[in-house]
Amino acid sequence: MTQTIGFIGLGNMGGPMAANLVKAGHRVTGYDLAPDARERAAGNGVAVAASAAEAVAAAGTVVTMLPAGRHVLDAYGELTAAAPSGALFVDCSTIAVGDARVAADLARVAGHRAVDAPVSGGVAGAEAAGLTFMVGADAADFADAEPLLAAMGRRVVHCGGSGAGQAAKICNNMILGVSMIAVSEAFVLGESLGLSHQALFDVASTASGQCWALTANCPVPGPVPASPANRDYAAGFAATLMAKDLGLAADAATASAVPAELGRRAAELYAAFAQDEGAGLDFSAIITTLREGAA
Ligand code: NAD
C-alpha cells in the first residue's frame, strides 16, 4: 500500500534509503540541511521540501537518518509538532539507547508512535536495499514499520521495546570492533613468527578463529580480494563510525555497570585511531597502528 513518508537526513545512508522507498511506490518528501544531498534526492524521485517541518506535514510515517543523538533530539522537537497526529516515527540513526528512549517519549507525548530501527550493512547495503534493521518497538508499531523497513533492507529483527534496536546495534558493533582488533593482533603476531598471511587465514578461517572481521573484512591484503585492505583501506565501514559506535557501547556499559573491559579498550584504540591516521579509512586499517606498536 502506498504510504506518505517524510524523510529527514538524505546523506550517505538516508539518500539511497529514501530512493528505495520511492522505488517501492511510496510518496516520499525529504529534507536535508545540505543542498547537495537535497539535489541528489530530487534526482532519485524524492519530493524535496523547503524545511523539515514541511517534509513531514502530511506524513503518516516520519523516517530520520541523522548523524548522532543530538541531531535526532533537536529535530524531534520540530518534527513531532509538525507531523499529523498519530504519525509513526522511525529513527534509523545510530544513537545512544537512552537518547532513543527520550526520542520515543517525545513522539508519544506529542500523540505519535515511535520505533528505533538502526541499521547494519553500510552504504552498499543502503543502495542495494540490503540493510539489516534492528528494531525497538511495541508489537503493533513494529508490525506497522516492518513493510517499510523491508523495502529498504533484507532483514528486519524485532529486538524488544524502545531502545532495544540501538542496544542490539552497539552490542553487535562491540563484537565487531573487538574481533577486528583480535584478528589484526593475530596477523601482526603471525608476521613476527614468520607465518604468511595466507597460511594463518587458511587455518583460522576454517577453525575456531573464524569471524566476519577475518573472512569478509580481512585486515591484510590477499586472502579476501574484496576486503578494503586490497584498496589501501578505502572504507568500507569507516573507522570514525566504528569509534562512534564503540563510544556508545562504552557509555552504555558505564551506565549499566558492566565491565566490558575489551569493549572499552577497543573504544579507546578506535577513538585514537579515528582522530589520527585512521580518519577517512576503513576500520580494518587499525592493523597498521598495531603493527607500528609491534615494531
Ligand atoms: P551523513 O553525514 O552522510 O548523513 C547525515 C545527513 O543528515 C547529512 O546529509 C546532514 O546534512 C543531515 N542533517 C544533519 N542534521 C540535520 C537536520 N537537522 N535536518 C536535516 N538534515 C540534517 O551520515 P550517514 O553515513 O548517512 O549516517 C547516518 C546515520 O547512520 C549515523 O547515525 C550513522 O552512525 C549511521 N550508520 C551509518 C553507516 C555508514 O556506513 N555510513 C552504517 C550504519 C549506520
- The amino acid at residue 42 is A
| Neighbouring residues of 276: CB distance < 8 A, sequence distance ≥ 6 | none
In the chain the domains, ranked by start, together with CATH numbers, are 4-161 (3.40.50.720), 167-294 (1.10.1040.10)
**Atom of ligand 1 minimally distant from the CA of 68:** 32
Q: Which three cell numbers stand for residue 218?
A: 580481512
Cβ atoms of 6 and 64 within 8 Å: the answer is no
Q: How many helices (H) and strands (E) does the chain have?
A: 13, 9
- The amino acid at residue 51 is S
Provide the pLDDT for residue 295.
63
Cβ atoms of 95 and 166 within 8 Å: the answer is yes
Q: Strands, E, within the chain: which ranges?
A: 4-8, 27-31, 47-48, 61-64, 88-91, 113-116, 119-120, 131-136, 153-160
Note down pLDDT in tens along the chain; length 295 residues: 899 999 999 999 999 999 999 999 999 999 999 999 999 999 999 999 999 999 999 999 999 999 999 999 999 999 999 999 999 999 999 999 999 999 999 999 999 999 999 999 988 899 999 999 999 999 999 999 999 999 999 999 999 999 999 999 999 999 999 999 999 999 999 999 999 999 999 999 999 999 999 999 999 999 999 999 999 999 889 999 999 999 999 999 999 999 999 999 999 999 999 999 999 999 999 999 999 987 6
Provide the pLDDT for residue 293.
80
| Cα-to-centroid distance, 113 and ligand 1 (Å) | 22
Provide the pLDDT for residue 153.
98
| Neighbouring residues of 262: CB distance < 8 A, sequence distance ≥ 6 | 178
Closest protein CA for atom 12 of ligand 1? 9
Cβ atoms of 270 and 287 within 8 Å: the answer is no
Nearest-angstrom CA–CA distance, 116 and 70 = 15
Residue in 8, 17, 31, 32 to alter for ligand 1 test, most ligand atoms within 8 A of Cβ: 32
The active-site residue out of 112, 169, 244, 264 is 169
Provide the pLDDT for residue 127.
96
Whether the ω angle into residue 236 lies within 30 degrees of 0, i.e. cis, is yes
Provide the pLDDT for residue 189.
98
Q: Which three cell numbers stand for residue 264?
A: 572499552
Residue with cell 590477499: 222
Nearest-angstrom CA–CA distance, 28 and 199 = 51
Closest protein CA for atom 38 of ligand 1? 122
Provide the pLDDT for residue 236.
86
Nearest-angstrom CA–CA distance, 247 and 270 = 9
| Cα-to-centroid distance, 92 and ligand 1 (Å) | 9
Provide the pLDDT for residue 56.
98
Q: Which residues approach ligand 1 with their CB closer than 6 A?
A: 8-14, 31-34, 37, 52, 65-67, 71, 75, 93-94, 119, 122-123, 237, 241, 244
> Residue 244 catalytic?
no
Nearest-angstrom CA–CA distance, 32 and 15 = 9
3-state secondary structure of 53: helix
| Cα-to-centroid distance, 293 and ligand 1 (Å) | 33
Radius of gyration over every alpha carbon of the chain, rounded to an integer in angstroms: 20
User: Model's pTM, two decimal places?
Assistant: 0.95
Residue with cell 522537537: 77
Nearest-angstrom CA–CA distance, 119 and 90 = 12
3-state secondary structure of 155: strand
